[in-house]
Structure 1
Amino acid sequence: MSATLTDNKVLKGGEFLIADAAYQTTFMPEEFSEEQRMVKQMVDDFIEQEIRTNLDKIEKQEDNIAPRLLEKMAELGLLGSHMPEAYGGLEMDTNTNTLICDVMGGSSGSFTVSYAAHTGIGMLPILYYGTEAQKEKYLPRLISGELKAAYCLTEPGSGSDAMGAKTTATLDGDAYVLNGQKMWISNAGFADVFIVFAQVDGDKFTGFIVPRNLEGLTLGAEEDKLGIKGSSTRQVFFENVRVPADNSLGEIGKGHLIAFNVLNVGRFKLHALSVGGAKRALQVGIRYANERIQFKQPIANFGAIKYKIGEAAIRIFAGESALYRVSQQIQDMNVQLKEQGKTFSQAKLLSAEEYAIECALLKFLGSETLDYTVDEVVQIHGGMGYSEETLAPRMYRDSRINRIYEGTNEINRLLSVDMLLRRAMKGALDIVGPAWAVQKELGGMPSLERPEGDYGEEIKAVSDFKKLILMVAGAAAKEQMDGKINLKGEQEILMNVADMLGDLLQAESTLMRIRKMRATGLGKQDIEVYDAILRTYLHDATARMAKNATDAVASFVEGDLLRTFTMGIKRFTKYPPQNVKVLRRRVADVLIEANAWSL
């Protein structure tokens, strides 16, 4: 069904469904160079010295703390680590920038919003779509921290439906006159530059660079939010704001390209920040579990607590494996595009766009792993988890927004499948051929031979996951072609498929990482600990795959055809049951003994 790729081939976006990448092609945190480890230490030191000592100030937005911290990050080069040297950036590779986000995720839920909004959605539109004059004017000052950026997309009547924006821009001589309002704008309270989207001539969705000091631009009060209270979030109002025509960003009417392509990077970075935040949260939970004595022993000794620690660790490890696998793919594609003659900004834009499917999957995977982890950390704390004396409630509140912004998790689930099917219809991905091969396989007798060799069962399980997704998605697509269903109106089916894709991406990434760890001897723990992570994840993912596949096909077929598909589901979910109690405890015991994240 699928081909194994050679070491030097860059996997295309979405191709993980139909091609088995060689495990040697993945990147894993265990491979960080000495220089990358030094960058990590620098970020760790900054967090320890500047952020954790100011958590209360950040939470209360006192002493202009967020912009001052951004300026200190700029002094270390961290606001321009992903930017070209020509504008004062450090031009670090993708994996190093991913590492920075990973580490920053463990600092403060509130401040990471300020950091991510400035360096991501605030700066990237100018890098990707700005004229050379615009780049020279703004990027060096954004990199140095002299200017801070905000991104104005959402309106009271347009959230997920961004193209439904009502803010208008009317050309009047040498300026566009903006009227309208934006809401939920991160960094609005201190931003100097706003990336604003408005409708030109009523229906030409367009981006603009809008300096804060223009007459008619005003701000609402700080929002009283559930979490991320330390991040500035305000409404932004435009009343006859005259924006120089030269400040239009990209082509008139092509603002959707800016919005969507910048969000690809935002979703990827959010996953990195979520993984880092989950590691930090779990560490807080582990330390409390070791300190809290009940029935004359630490609660970390109890199986119910070990389950929580082990399960969170397994989810985090799987998310981290997918994070750095995709990071390497983006980096490889970036290098390839530069070799083809693309500029720095073009290569950055196109490499992120190529992996838009993976970015959408990672967004909901990472945010939900973080949510699961902080919820269990509150539970580990018991009553103290409800007390502001601990970090647990703050982490709990701060995490919740991640499932909403950068596109809700529901939107990202739908997008991931929609983009996959669109690429198939355009011929960019050959999904039809592999799907037909699966249908032919279902017509034959299943093999009774069990796979042999290291990870034989795991390799087969991942391969079967791919076949199962192709079976379900192929059947749904055929039903649509036959006019029996309209997938646009069947969001539940699409979300079933998206969840299967997410499990596949993390399962295969974890398998690739652990196979590489065994081959190289890298890793902080004995390989048996990592094998326990892999086997537990696959055990649970197999059950989720079976349920999602059954829920999907049972919603659009019945009778003999449903029985045929049910047999197929059973055929492709035969990973042997694992003693997950023992395996989870093995993972938890390592972390409990280390009293820290140590995987």
Structure 2
Amino acid sequence: MSVQHTIPKGGQFILEEVDFQSVFTPEDLNDEQKMIARMTRDFIEGEVEPHAEEIEKLNYELTVKLLRQAGELGLLGADVPEAYGGAALDKISSSLIGESMVRGGSFALSHGAHVGIGTLPIVFFGTPEQKAQYLPALTTGEKVAAYCLTEPSSGSDALGAKTTAILNLEGTHYILNGTKQYITNAGFADVFIVYAKIDGEKFTAFIVEKEFSGVSTGPEEKKMGIKGSSTCPLILEDVAVPVENVLGEIGKGHQIAFNILNVGRYKLGVGAVGTSKWAIELAVKYAKERKQFNTPIINFPLLRNKVADMTIRTYVNESMVYRTGGYLDCATANLNLETYAAAEAAKAIEEHAIEHSIVKVFASEALDFVADEGVQMHGGYGYIAEYKIEQIYRDSRINRIFEGTNEINRLLIPDTLLKRAMQGRLPLMAKLQQLQKELAGYMPPLDLSETSGLLEAETSMLASAKKIFLMVGGAAVQKYMQKIEGEQEILENLSNLLITIYALESALLRAKKTAVNRGEAAARMQVQMTQAYFRDVWSDLEAWTKETLLAVSEGDTLRTQLSILKKLLRMPPVNTIALKRSIAARIVEVEQYTAGVK
């Protein structure tokens, strides 16, 4: 495979080898970025955590007060241009704010909805006049934003919205009617990004103010988790919205909706990383204090194995998230957001939509795993509300539903890849043809027994995993052609392969980069986590591939494909018990998540 030295196009990782130096990792953080993270943590520790219990009781006034305090510190304007009162920080800095906010519990959701899906539609798609009118107040917290897409009859099918907008006879206002459901911050928001169909057809975004006549909210939903965040219906009854408040182009609201969801998916991944680190810290500290059979339970190997598995998932998650954040930062860095830049913004954000969906799915499921194991390590106490791990467990569950369900995102990942191939944006078909020729001849077993270089075996395994995806994906496309969108089980397997390959590659690239830039000793723990993760998921790759091949092939073709698969799945044995004991020992020592690099 050729090596990709520049920031790759979205989805290109499956076709080429990526240069580890081109990938952003947490080890690349500069002093200013670290300072922003510390400031955010200090704010949460000093101002939010003392009021955690009151926030969970859904105290609107307290949440709004804290949002304004965050605004005074600049924690609401990271993504807002300086011309409108913001800090115009890079996307990594704004990600660190999001990661550090999570220890504020439900407050982090109120904050995230405001600065993310609430404010970013105006930042990326607003006119200069709209930005000047709304962004300064949103940046200080004087006004709070909410995002209104979901309706009682349309969740995943966002374009099936029933909310209507009709231009009045004077041509000055659109009259909006409809109901939006599950709207975060609705109970105290001042500005709503609302999607409606003009004349029942043209899906369009609007900026709606709470004070507009006919705007009201329904009762708070009683939720399983995130209890301290406001979640209400937004009701629109003959609401007159000035034509100047149309956001973006008429009939192109989907460009705003889907691209803001893309950013939201990435930011959800950021929050999942921060929460996973928090859960690990809580679990380890508890297990060091809790004694059974006259010894701290953290001394038991099975408990340490859980610590290792939680840490490995978090390391992989963190590696994926900040790699993707680097892509988003590069894609949006040259946007002039002080002007009207809707078309350019849509193109920049959409470029890595595949990676954003991958991050959303992996991060939400990794956090659920970590939270579940965190509860288990607490034993019966993990089920008691007095312990924070109980809240983390409940709060984490929504992430697999937020920003498009994981099922929808799993379908989007291969669908987007195939569409880009058809559009000529990715040379997927050429790669498939090249691979078919390569696999048609004699292919000796993959011999990894003598690999000696740092992560050389894992590098070969990754290359094999990419060939496996191309082989099985090509077989599926060849059989179903355009009808493949109806074969959801096949698409799910292809998606799982893509997600896992991106995860494997992200972990591998980060460990390699650390080893080269910091030395192999500094990279020791990252190398161990990468080696262990490859072995943990290798059988999953085999299962998804075999199930798919059995569905799309038969006879001699199937036998040949299974024979090739067996060769591609060869891997050198590694003592993962020893690896995980070493990883856990380090975490127990420092009593918090670490990737081993100071």
Q: Does TM, scored on the shorter chain, surpass 0.5?
A: yes
CA distance in 1, matches of 2:339, 2:128: 15
Distance 1:196 1:421, change over 3 A: same
Letter in 2 for 1:29: P
Structure 2 stretches of 5 or more lacking a match? none
CA distance in 2, matches of 1:171, 1:141: 28
Letter in 1 for 2:567: R
CA offsets 1:427-471 (integer angstroms, 9 cap, x no match): 000011221222222222334543452221111111111111111
Residue number in structure 2 paired with 1:576: 572
CA distance in 1, matches of 2:136, 2:346: 19
- How many Å apart are 1:218 and its aligned residue? 1.2
Letter in 2 for 1:480: Y
For residue 183 of structure 1, give the secondary structure of its aligned residue in structure 2.
Answer: strand
Distance 1:502 1:109, change over 3 A: farther
For residue 136 of structure 1, give the secondary structure of its aligned residue in structure 2.
Answer: helix
For residue 493 of structure 1, give the secondary structure of its aligned residue in structure 2.
Answer: helix
**Does residue 434 of structure 2 align to residue 434 of structure 1?**
no
CA offsets 1:116-158 (integer angstroms, 9 cap, x no match): 1111111111122222211110011111111100011101100
- How many Å apart are 1:109 and its aligned residue? 3.5
Superposed, 1:492-511 pairs within 5 Å as: 492-511=489-508
Which is further off, 172-181 or 153-162? Answer: 172-181
Residue of structure 1 aligned with 2:267, choices 260, 264, 269: 269
Contact 2:328 2:349 in 1 (8 A): yes
Residue number in structure 2 paired with 1:334: 332
Residue of structure 2 aligned with 1:80, choices 70, 77, 82: 77
Residue of structure 2 aligned with 1:254, choices 252, 261, 264: 252
Structure 1 stretches of 5 or more lacking a match? none
Distance 1:96 1:125, change over 3 A: same
Residue number in structure 1 paired with 2:318: 320
For residue 445 of structure 1, give the secondary structure of its aligned residue in structure 2.
Answer: coil
- How many Å apart are 1:96 and its aligned residue? 1.4
For residue 64 of structure 1, give the secondary structure of its aligned residue in structure 2.
Answer: helix
Residue number in structure 1 paired with 2:388: 391
Residue number in structure 2 paired with 1:49: 46
CA distance in 2, matches of 1:534, 1:124: 35
Superposed, 1:147-158 pairs within 5 Å as: 147-158=143-154
CA distance in 2, matches of 1:367, 1:381: 21
Report how many aligned residue pairs link the two structures: 590
Residue number in structure 1 paired with 2:560: 564
CA distance in 2, matches of 1:3, 1:384: 52
Residue number in structure 1 paired with 2:305: 307
**Does residue 597 of structure 2 align to residue 598 of structure 1?**
no
Superposed, 1:161-310 pairs within 5 Å as: 161-172=157-168, 173=170, 174-310=172-308
CA distance in 1, matches of 2:173, 2:141: 28
Which is further off, 528-537 or 313-322? Answer: 528-537
- How many Å apart are 1:351 and its aligned residue? 2.6
CA offsets 1:212-241 (integer angstroms, 9 cap, x no match): 011111111111000000000001111111
CA offsets 1:405-437 (integer angstroms, 9 cap, x no match): 100000011111111100000000001122122
For residue 234 of structure 1, give the secondary structure of its aligned residue in structure 2.
Answer: strand
Superposed, 1:539-554 pairs within 5 Å as: 539-554=535-550
CA distance in 2, matches of 1:344, 1:168: 26
Contact 2:79 2:120 in 1 (8 A): no
Residue number in structure 1 paired with 2:362: 365
CA offsets 1:181-230 (integer angstroms, 9 cap, x no match): 01100000000001111111111111111000111111111110000000
Residue number in structure 1 paired with 2:462: 462
Distance 1:68 1:336, change over 3 A: closer
- How many Å apart are 1:558 and its aligned residue? 2.2
**Does residue 3 of structure 2 align to residue 4 of structure 1?**
yes
Contact 1:84 1:344 in 2 (8 A): no
**Does residue 508 of structure 2 align to residue 517 of structure 1?**
no
Give the alignment's Cα RMSD to 1 decimal. 1.8
Contact 1:338 1:347 in 2 (8 A): no
Distance 1:83 1:597, change over 3 A: same
CA distance in 2, matches of 1:276, 1:431: 35
- How many Å apart are 1:316 and its aligned residue? 0.6
Contact 2:52 2:105 in 1 (8 A): no
**Does residue 342 of structure 2 align to residue 351 of structure 1?**
no
CA distance in 2, matches of 1:277, 1:67: 23
CA distance in 1, matches of 2:239, 2:96: 40
Contact 1:142 1:149 in 2 (8 A): yes
For residue 177 of structure 1, give the secondary structure of its aligned residue in structure 2.
Answer: strand
Residue number in structure 1 paired with 2:133: 137
Residue number in structure 1 paired with 2:581: 585
- How many Å apart are 1:560 and its aligned residue? 2.1
Contact 1:307 1:588 in 2 (8 A): yes
CA distance in 1, matches of 2:24, 2:412: 26
Return the TM-score normalized by structure 1: 0.95
Contact 1:150 1:194 in 2 (8 A): yes
CA distance in 2, matches of 1:263, 1:240: 27
Residue number in structure 2 paired with 1:475: 475
- How many Å apart are 1:95 and its aligned residue? 1.6
Letter in 1 for 2:149: L
CA offsets 1:246-303 (integer angstroms, 9 cap, x no match): 1111111111111001111000000001111111111111111111101111111112
CA distance in 1, matches of 2:159, 2:458: 43
Letter in 2 for 1:456: E
Residue number in structure 2 paired with 1:443: 440
- How many Å apart are 1:342 and its aligned residue? 9.6
Residue of structure 2 aligned with 1:90, choices 87, 98, 104: 87
CA distance in 1, matches of 2:470, 2:336: 34
**Does residue 114 of structure 2 align to residue 114 of structure 1?**
no
CA distance in 2, matches of 1:574, 1:68: 58
Contact 1:125 1:258 in 2 (8 A): yes
Contact 2:204 2:246 in 1 (8 A): yes
For residue 554 of structure 1, give the secondary structure of its aligned residue in structure 2.
Answer: helix
For residue 356 of structure 2, give the secondary structure of its aligned residue in structure 1.
Answer: helix
Distance 1:63 1:154, change over 3 A: closer
CA distance in 2, matches of 1:338, 1:239: 36
Letter in 2 for 1:312: M
CA distance in 2, matches of 1:47, 1:567: 55
CA offsets 1:12-53 (integer angstroms, 9 cap, x no match): 111000011111111111221111111111011011111211
CA distance in 1, matches of 2:335, 2:196: 32
Contact 2:435 2:467 in 1 (8 A): yes
- How many Å apart are 1:568 and its aligned residue? 2.3
CA distance in 2, matches of 1:262, 1:190: 21
CA distance in 2, matches of 1:522, 1:241: 62
Residue number in structure 2 paired with 1:27: 24
CA distance in 1, matches of 2:386, 2:37: 29
Return the TM-score normalized by structure 2: 0.95
Distance 1:257 1:119, change over 3 A: same
- How many Å apart are 1:111 and its aligned residue? 1.4
Letter in 1 for 2:395: D
Identity %: 43
For residue 7 of structure 2, give the secondary structure of its aligned residue in structure 1.
Answer: coil
- How many Å apart are 1:347 and its aligned residue? 5.5
**Does residue 92 of structure 2 align to residue 100 of structure 1?**
no
- How many Å apart are 1:552 and its aligned residue? 1.4
For residue 42 of structure 1, give the secondary structure of its aligned residue in structure 2.
Answer: helix
